[in-house]
Amino acid sequence: MDGLDTGFFFELRAGTTAAQDLWRSITERDDPAAVSSVTLYELSRHGLVGRIDRSFAEAVVERAGVAFEQAAVDPTAVLDRAARITKGMGLPMADALIAASLERVGCARVHTSDSDFDDYEGPMEVVLYPTSREQ
C-alpha cells in the first residue's frame, strides 16, 4: 500500500507527472493507499491560508475513507513510534506522526516532496519527488 504525505498533494496539484500517475492508479484502479489524519489537517490548514487551492484541499479531505484509508494517530502505539522516530531520526513531530501512522496501517512506501523524510529509516520506502518549486 502507498502512503501519501502532504507534499505528495502539493505535487499532485502542481501537475507533477509521477504524482498524477499514482493518483490515477489509486482513484481509477482502486490501488490501495493511505493518508495520515495529520496530512488531512495540514491540507485543510494550507487551504485555509492560501498555500494550496482551498477547493482542492477540501476535495481531498472529503475523499478520506473513500479513495484512500485514513491512518489515525491516536493509538498509543503510533504516538510511541512517532516519538521514537523523532528521537532516533530527527524528523519533525508532524512528519514522525505521519510516518508512524502510515507504518501502522501497513504502507510499503511513503510518497512525499519533503526532504525531512531523507532521514527516515524504517519499514517504508521513501519515494521523494523533486518539488515543483525546485524544477
* 95 is an annotated ligand-binding site residue: yes
Query: For cell 507504518, what's the residue?
Result: 103
The residue type of 88 is G
Contact 130, 31 (CB under 8 A): no
Cell of 114: 519533503
Residues 6+ apart with CB under 8 A from 131: 7, 10, 11, 113
Task: Give the C-alpha separation, 87 to 92, whole Å.
Answer: 9
User: 18 — phi, psi (to 5°)?
Assistant: -60, -40
The residue type of 64 is A
Residues in the annotated binding site for Mg(2+):
5, 95
Residues in the annotated binding site:
5, 95
